[in-house]
Chains A and B, each alone.
Chain A
């Protein structure tokens, strides 16, 4: 439960602010000039703050929509991401947000209309062509904080009404009520991320179990929503084959795989500076004492032999269930093993 809410003075009285404050009526309210005064100062410890993060309500003023890195996407020609929220209510040890932000506070941009205007303007500038993709779970989990953000409640109908855009909601949560209470839209994908249960137990704190995520997917499929599977990051342990074989079997045998929209995978990787920051925050974490090294691309990642073998193995597992056209290797530009083998490139 949030005990402090920082709010930018300029959004005092905004209906979304009022509604959120009434949800946390015991929280102390602290007014600030700009969210950056609270979120950006150097003298903050992400790990300590994660014990009791505050909520920051702010208005985003620019850079509403960004182009995604070139190796990220689901086959679309134009791919963008937008972040209504920075940080996450979960605490995954492999999460790059720990290394990217100094603060663990949940920063929520409440001016959704400005985001939708920016998206509309991108879409009208680009002319016709294949629908553009918009990814929403880049700097947070798209659905985990839905009871507070009502992000999906706003953006799902917005995208649903458009034929020129697709939305990916990326989540580990089971907050699917807002999807279950509306008609499914074919261009909105609820994509669920998975790591094997034992690995999740060690690394994904406060995250719903694999089983409850599977249950959530089943419910969504039953009423006609498109779902996606995300195995990213793949985490290496000495007996990873057994863990991933069980996971892929458990997930794929529980859902209608023929109606899965897409599956993507990528191994654990992270910019060097983020990695260094996280090692300082979690010097005792086995994940950061494993066989990870600096690659030529400037990313900290598993040694090539481990990475290639793992990607290949999990790809092979998935291809027993999913046609290769639906499988996306998010490292394909760095690592072409599966793509070449299965004719994806």
Chain B
């Protein structure tokens, strides 16, 4: 599941339409749209709301393993209106802290330094894209996933020649709509990365069969999990069946028996 955070409904609309996302009425607090392996939350403008909406989506959806994409508009001194960029560096202008989302997959457009401000910016610093959410989004998203899986995509809406006063909801929707192909490339790139991440993740092995028969202390349960992980890697899926150790009197015996069995297997790579 890919999680998308946008500040404005006008930014969200083209994405919602493109992916056929549907409003989830049961979600309260922030509007959430979902469908086709994507979930989108409309956070509202600013750092506090961006961080809250990201955490809200992560917590409520238990979306810990999905990648995260922040899509939004930004101002830049020189890049043309409509240019798509991604954040290779993010700075929180208030605290001065920097983050560098690792670029493992090719993101669309040019990499830019995004500076997150508390107020709209009227004077553009050189070569920096200015927005109001990226830093908070990144900090919040990386509580749940590693940085490779949290990316910010910014579309230039204003620059030194064309200031923010002409930004309207329709203009914003058009900017995003014109870049849907590139946004989709970013979504696909993140999908491929999350497949790799999923491969890394192993769900906790179900040891219920074992704990229903014998009493395992907390430490013994950890040991059992680890022993069964090794057994599965070494191709002994039948080890998950607790029945075979029916003759064991207690958890200690079971662990010793599994260990003995593992030692009897040839070690290969």
Contact = CB atoms under 8 A, between A and B. Distances in A.
Nearest to B146: A45
A30 B100 contact: yes
A37 B269 contact: no
B233 A37 contact: no
Given A30-B89, A43-B145, A286-B267, 11 more contacts: A30-B100, A31-B113, A37-B98, A41-B147, A43-B146, A48-B197, A52-B105, A203-B269, A285-B233, A290-B230, A291-B263
B163 interface: no
24 contacts: A3-B106, A28-B88, A28-B103, A28-B110, A30-B111, A31-B113, A32-B100, A37-B100, A44-B147, A47-B196, A47-B200, A48-B197, A48-B200, A51-B193, A52-B103, A52-B104, A52-B105, A283-B200, A283-B233, A286-B267, A286-B269, A287-B269, A289-B233, A291-B263
Contacts, number: 110
A4 interface: yes
Interface string A226-254: 00000000011110000000000000000
B208 interface: no
A238 B267 contact: yes
Contact of A283 (B99, B103, B229, B234): B229
Nearest to B145: A43
A339 interface: no
A49 B102 contact: yes
Kindly list the 7 A-B residue pairs having the minimum CB-CB distance in the complex, ordered from nearest.
A43-B142, A289-B233, A45-B146, A202-B269, A238-B266, A289-B230, A28-B111
A98 to B, nearest CB: 12
Given A30-B89, A291-B263, A199 B269 contact: yes
B174 interface: no
- Interface residues on chain A, size class: 35 or more
Interface residues of B, number: 38
Given A51-B196, A238-B268, A286-B268, A33 B98 contact: yes
A299 interface: no
A43 B267 contact: no
Contacts of A49: 102, 104, 148
A284 interface: yes
Interface in A22-74: 28, 30-33, 37-38, 41, 43-45, 47-49, 51-52, 54
B88 A286 contact: no
Contacts of B88: 4, 28, 30
A38 B100 contact: yes
B65 to A, nearest CB: 11
B60 interface: no
Interface in B227-269: 229-231, 233-234, 262-263, 266-269
B111 A51 contact: no
Nearest to B227: A289
B202 interface: yes
A120 B55 CA distance: 53
A133 B142 CA distance: 43
B185 to A, nearest CB: 16
Contacts of A284: 199, 202, 233
Contacts of B103: 3-4, 28, 52, 54
Nearest to A238: B266
A29 B199 CA distance: 31
A45 B197 contact: yes
Contacts of B110: 28
Given A45-B197, A45-B200, A291 B267 contact: yes
